[in-house]
Structures are given as structure tokens and as C-alpha cells.
Amino acid sequence: MEATYRLDFNEELKKCVKCGTCRAHCPLFVELIGEVGSPRGRLSLIKLLQEQRIKPSQEIADIVYTCLLCKTCAVNCPSGVKVDEIVFAARDFLNRALGEGVMKKALLRGFLTRPGFLAACASLGALYQKIGLHSLLTKANLFDHLPEKIGAAGKILPDITKKPARKRVPTLTPAKGPRRFRVAYFLGCATNLAYPDVPVAGVEVLSQNGCEVITVEGVKCCGMPHLAYGDTETAAKLAKHNMEIFFAEEYDAIVCDCASCTSTFQESYIHLFEPGSKEYEMTKKLQTKAMDLTKFLVTKSGVRPGGKAQQFIVTYHDPCHLKRGQNVFKEPREILKSIPGIEFAEMKEADRCCGSAGSFTVMHHELSMKVLDKKIANVQKVEPDYVATCCPTCTMQLSYGLKKAGIRAKVVHPVQLLAESYK
């Protein structure tokens, strides 16, 4: 079994001693109940593929794709098995062995590699919402009568009627006061189009804390959706394109407000290129430069307290790719606690996956909702005004869950509340 996602299958699979510890931590195993619903079960199937004892099939692919890639099993594995990386590589192999469907190819290579086309499609979606069609379909419960995946996408679609961040944030924002850092700000697809208030606030907060901010132009999708669906070839092209833009100029850091994007830069790009190649060396440089926005603010620039007090109760949800992928969990909380007037309330199992996992909430909607229900129950217990998180897909999932449960709390990025305190 060979994969273009560079990982030593033999060594990684050997590490698994079949102890089953992963089953106790996997958020899906408690819902699926069965060995194929556990990380251990998936690894057993992948090992059989690797040894050519079974052939690639859609049935095997369905099992391998029923994984949140939340890293919970990996960080709790006593043998240190990198389960999520094995799953990435297995999906790459299965994608090439079984081929890509027309819709999958159109989405990954047509939409997500062309920012202009993606923005145009978002504009059509915004029009669909503005004329009230989305509201009508929702109120009439018509999404329940559509094909499952289309209905799920329709239900969870966020408000995309706001002007994209790319049109709201200047390419260069000077530091307010003495310039201490020059940073590149990577605008991810989701925050740019679905949650533009986040990068607007992020750039403002960086500027307030002594940073000259360049909202880098010409970048494309980070490649995480492609990696998640086994299209490693396209992910590598996107990685090369983005890195060439990043390193065309000198920056003190490359910051991003999306946990998945930063995780892709820090963890995944290095698996896409041959060791010793120019691109491989670029990935190692990127690992030292790429940083989550909250981590940069706390550990590099420092956070100047705002002057406007806000009387809110705020809790925080840890995105999987931020806490387990980058070990960033204290920094967002420090930012929230630094805002005058905010009461921070820690929820139970704050780092438990919300069930979003990018498109998992659409492709496995019913299963995703079972995971989400547990998260929303924990949110409800602390009765917050705001739920803060650092991932747009988590924001989308949590917003949907809160609305469905009749909870009026709003989901925000920590920097949105910090930016508000500066006004």
C-alpha cells in the first residue's frame, strides 16, 4: 500500500498494540458501538489493506471516512500512534484506488482551488438568503424532505449575507502606535466568506497591539478539505502556491484565525513533499512562522486590555485542531479573561469534539448531531451569553446546535469580544 501522503505505514501501524484505550476516548465509538466504529478497528482494516490481504472497496472507504480526525485517540494513545495521520494517508490511497466522483472532484478542484469562483458562489448563496428563500424553506421544514446531504447542508448553512472580509480589510493595516511586529494575516475560506467579522476584529486587535498587518493577497484554500478527502495531489499544489506567496516577503509571523488552517500549515504540509526538496524546506520554515492568532497575541505581541467593560458570561469550546493539534488552549482563555467585565465560565468537557469536522456534519449528519447534542448540553449548564471558539466550522456547528436547542447564546471568536472592548 502506497500513498502520496508521506507517512511510514509500517512503523506507525506497528505501534498499535490493540489495547483499546482509544475506544474509551473516541466520541464516535460511544455512538456507533462496534469495532469498526473505533480507531482500533479502522487501523486493523487499514493494516489489512497495507498487507494486501483485502482489496480497496467502497465499504472499506465508508468506514475509514467515518472518522472526525479529532486527534482524541492519538493524544490518548499510550503507544503514540498517529491515528489521524494514518487515516489521512489511507484516504489518499483509497481515493486513488477507487477514483473520484464528479461532485467530489468539482468541489475540491473546481470550487476550493479558485477563490474568485468560490466568492461568486457565496454571493449567490447570500442572494438566496436575502430574498427569504432560505427562511421559507426552514420554516416549512422542507429541508427534511430533501436528500439527506442536501438537507443537512441547508439546515446548517450560516448567514453569508455580509460583505467578505477581503473587501472589508485593507491589504496593509498600520500598527496603532510604535510598530513592533510585521505579520501576514492568512484569510481562510470560511472566515473570509461566512464569518468576516472575525478577521476584521483580528486585524484590528493586532493593530492595537503594535502590529503592522498585511492581509496577504493571492493565497488559496489551505488544503485541509483536500487532505480530508484524500486529494493529496491538489493539497500539495495549494501548499506550494501558498508557501511561495508567504515567503515572497519577510514577516515576523504568519497568523490565522482558523484552527484548521494553522494546523494544516504546521502539521500537514510537511507530509506532502519529498524530504530534502525545496518545498519540504519551505514547510519546515512555515512551521516556525505559522501561528494561531490567539497564541501570537498572548505569547508574542502581548494583549493590551480594552477600556470598555462588558458584562457577559462567556464559556469556551476548544477546537480539536487547536488544542490537540497545536497545544493551544490557555491563550484563548487568557484573552477572554483579560477583557474588562467578562465572567469566564468553564464548561464540562470543553475540549470534546463538537462533531463538525469540516463537512462531516453534512456527510454524516445524524451521527454528527449525536456528538453535538452532548456539547450543547454542557454549554447549557453554564448559561453563557457567548460561546467563544477559534474555528469557523465549530462556530457553524455550535450556532446550529444552540439555535436548535432554543439557547440564545451567540458564538464568537475571542478576538471579537476583545476588539469590542477597544471601542
* Per-residue confidence (pLDDT) for residue 126, from 0 to 100: 66
Range of weakest confidence among 46-60, 128-142, 157-171: 128-142
pLDDT bucket at 61, cuts 50 / 70 / 90: very high
Overall average pLDDT of the 115-127 stretch: 73
| Strand 181-186 to 211-215 pairing | parallel
Instruction: Inform me whether the pLDDT recorded for 409 exceeds 60.
Output: yes
- For cell 512503523, name the residue: 11
* Per-residue confidence (pLDDT) for residue 350, from 0 to 100: 97
Overall average pLDDT of the 170-175 stretch: 97
Q: Which of 209, 177, 195, 169 is nearest to 335 (CA)?
A: 209
- The neighbour count for residue 17, using CB atoms within 10 Å, is 12
* Per-residue confidence (pLDDT) for residue 146, from 0 to 100: 52
Instruction: Inform me whether the pLDDT recorded for 117 exceeds 90.
Output: no
CA 399 to chain centre: 15
Ordered by start, the domain boundaries in the chain are 9-98, 102-156, 165-299, 305-421
Q: What is the pLDDT of residues 188-237, one digit of tens each?
A: 999 999 999 999 999 999 999 999 999 999 999 999 999 999 899 999 99
Cα torsion 20, 391, 194, 89 to 10°: value is -40
pLDDT bucket at 124, cuts 50 / 70 / 90: confident
Overall average pLDDT of the 84-112 stretch: 83
The sign one gets for the Cα dihedral 38, 42, 36, 108 is positive
Cβ(323)–Cβ(329) below 8 Å? yes
Instruction: Inform me whether the pLDDT recorded for 31 exceeds 80.
Output: yes
Specify the higher pLDDT residue, 392 or 108.
Answer: 392
CA distance 11 to 82: 10
CATH code of the region 165-299: 3.40.50
Alpha-carbon distances, residue 263 vs 59, 120, 287 (angstroms): 29, 27, 9
Helices 392-404 and 365-382: crossing angle, nearest 10°?
A: 80
In angstroms, how far apart are the furthest CA atoms of the chain?
65
Overall average pLDDT of the 349-354 stretch: 96
The CATH class of the 305-421 domain is alpha beta
The CATH architecture annotation of domain 9-98 reads: Orthogonal Bundle (1.10)
The answer to whether domain 165-299 and domain 305-421 are alike in fold is yes
* Per-residue confidence (pLDDT) for residue 1, from 0 to 100: 44
Q: What is the pLDDT of residues 301-334, one digit of tens each?
A: 999 888 777 789 999 999 999 999 999 999 999 9
* Per-residue confidence (pLDDT) for residue 34, from 0 to 100: 82
Grid coordinates of 280: 519540504
Cβ(293)–Cβ(202) below 8 Å? yes
CA distance 397 to 381: 18
Grid coordinates of 65: 471516512
Mean pLDDT over the full length of the chain: 89
